[in-house]
Structure 1
Amino acid sequence: MENVRGINTFIRIVQTGNFSRAARELGITPQAASIHVKLIEDWVGVRLLNRSTRKISLTEEGASFYRTCVGAFRSIDDEIERMRDASEEAFGTVKLAAPVGMASRFIAPALGRFLENYPRVSVDLIVQNRIPDVVAEGIDVGVLPHPLPDTTLIARRVVTSPFVLCASPAYLQRHGRPMTIEELARHRRLDIRSWVTNAVRPWRLRSGHEVVTGQGRACLVTNDGDSLIEAMLSGAGIGLLTRYRVSPYLRSGRLETVLDGQVDGELSYSIYMQQRNQIPRKIRVMADFLYHVLSLHPDFRQE
């Protein structure tokens, strides 16, 4: 039993990258966490962690042992979930990860309905604009732009939204509405930096049978879609975003699209899960619920 406790401590230290943080999560002291790891190292006969005053890192043997332990603990969790699923009732905590815009606007507002339907399931919602390490962070299900960077995940594409160029009516009244790609180059440009690639998203525009990249220097570059929308609303210039991000503002008339039909490209999102021998019912019902919420939302309907 002590070895099981020590392995669990070792896993949490690797996942958090810190003895103190892991100890807090486990409800023990950092000294106790250090003792647990030392006992496991004595048990297996090799050093598992390189320790310094600033950070810890896995040894080669430690990395192999970590993968084996995580796999073993996941197999135990899967078996427990399989037995719980025999009652056909979803139970336990689902760790759900999603980008900021997707989580705040679509997922969080729908969770009340999910929790009413599945009262024995709790949700740990991780909101972050980055590609997570799904296994190391223990994420059960999530939403990410398609295609996924990790091909070992189970993925189901759920929604697609085209890119649009838009600006505020006040900006267009002051500076005129661009009717051609050449006129667009004379306007103030607001760019978005992809948090997936960290590259500025290019403006790809259809010109006859060709697709050209819009030219011009941006007067604003941001990695946050909400900030870009606020800048457009303030009259700062013309920006490129997916239609779903700006749909409420288009409906209210606070933003207007330009060069309709000439903007090329779209962005898709997928729901993903870890590959498991037995997918717990709590994860299946969450994945199905996310698919229902996103696929039926009016802001993702193609116009």
Structure 2
Amino acid sequence: MDIAQAMRVFARVVETKSFTRASETLDLPRGRVTVIVQNLEAHLKTRLLQRTTRSLNLTADGAAYYERCVRVLADIDDIENSFLGKKQSPRGRLRVDMPGALGRLIVMPALADFHERYPEIDLVLGLGDKPLDLVQEGVDCVVRIGTLQDSSLVARRVGIYQGVTVASPAYLHKAGTPRTLDELAHHQAVNYYWGRSGRIMPLTFDVDGKTVEVKMRGSIAVNDAEAYLGSALNGLGIVQGARFMALPYLESGALVEILSQWKPPPLPISAVYPHNRHLSATVRAFVDWIAELFRNCALLTSTPEADARCRPTSIDTQDADAVDLADDEEGSIG
């Protein structure tokens, strides 16, 4: 028996809570996964998993063995990467998820450079904002915008998100241009809502170093960043979206920035990954690459002024690297 492989297969079954999902993420036949776990139990002379037709649960011995497996496998990866990293470029399948607009407008145009640098990494890129269970769904790394909840995941700040409050000239001609935050009560917004919770996102403004939230009335709400900005272009109301998305329309005059003296607070853009994968050469290569990409993008790079105003990466300021992707995370649009 390949005990290291058996430990990896067992750990993945536990993390995904499914033999089928484990087989998919490991690229092994389901029957092979089942046999490996059964052989491991026979080798250890103990039952690790309690199986029923509807559930899969750890036994007491299984829970103890899983905790040891995680530590041992992390040590194995550490040893391998310390030597292999010096001799060969990162290789293998890497599954990444990020907000759709950020991926389409900033990341995808630069992927040729990533492939040229790392030709042996097979990148599987998902575009969306839905909260994910990284371990259970087999995702190696996600890029997220905003302050995140704390947990056992690891976050590295890779950029700064700058928001902008805009409306179309047609809307402003019809409704007038608001000069103060109080005047927003007399205006119409296109609202953005989080798809899973349905929560409407308020507009946010930095007023004398404090964040002020304004909930506006609106007869339309969307949960897609490009549809959100498109609604403003069509004169349907005021929106607050990503500057990197709005800039071409601001330059052409199709959109107008309003209330520029009270800009939305900058938000961190973070690469987030499970802590037991933090030494993966493929994850490290992608995170380093995307941090460099955003650093060279004027609309996403950090500045001393933006850093001073930026919300924290994590709610837990005692451990800013520990984050979670909760349903009601404080995020933004992009």
Task: State the partner residue of 1:92.
Answer: 91
What is the SS of the residue equivalent to 2:186?
coil
TM-score (norm 1): 0.80
CA distance in 1, matches of 2:143, 2:289: 12
Deviation at 1:146, TM superposition (A): 4.6
Please say which of residues 49-58 and 162-171 is displaced more in the overlay: 49-58
CA contact (8 A) 1:78 1:278 kept: no
3-state SS of 2:201 partner = coil
Hey, what does 1:22 align to over in structure 2?
A: 22
State whether residues 91 and 122 of structure 2, in contact with CA within 8 Å, keep that contact through their aligned partners in structure 1: yes
**How do 1:40-189 and structure 2 match up within 5 A?**
40-87=40-87, 89-93=88-92, 94-134=94-134, 140-150=140-150, 152=152, 154-189=154-189
Partners of 1:163 and 1:241 within 8 A in 2? yes
Going from structure 1 to structure 2, the CA distance change for 1:246 and 1:52 (only over 3 Å counts) comes to: farther
Q: For the residues of structure 1 that align with 2:229 and 2:212, how far apart are their CA atoms?
A: 24
Q: With the length of structure 2 as denominator, give the TM-score of the two structures.
A: 0.73
Structure 1 residue runs of 5 or longer lacking an equivalent are none
Q: Which digits, 9 at most, give the CA deviation of each residue in 1:96-133, with x for residues without a partner?
A: 34233322222222121122123333323344424444
- The residue matched to 1:114 in structure 2 has which SS? helix
Could you tell me how far 1:148 is from its partner in structure 2?
A: 4.2
Gaps of 5+ in 2: 307-334
The residue aligned with 2:230 is: 230
Distance 1:159 1:69, change over 3 A: same
* RMSD, matched Cα: 3.5
Q: % of aligned pairs identical?
A: 28
Q: Following TM superposition, by how much is the alpha carbon of 1:142 offset from its aligned partner in structure 2, in angstroms?
A: 4.1
Greater mean alpha carbon deviation, residues 281-290 or residues 165-174: 281-290
Deviates more, 1:55-64 or 1:269-278: 269-278
Q: Is the 8 A contact 2:140 2:277 kept in 1?
A: no
Alignment of 1:259-278 (within 5 A): 259-272=259-272, 275=275
- Give the secondary structure class of the aligned counterpart of 2:96: strand
Give the 3 Å change call, closer, same or farther, for CA 5–273 of structure 1 in structure 2.
Answer: closer
SS in 2 for 1:157: strand
- Structure 2 distance, partners of 1:148, 1:196, is 16
Deviates more, 1:147-156 or 1:248-257: 147-156
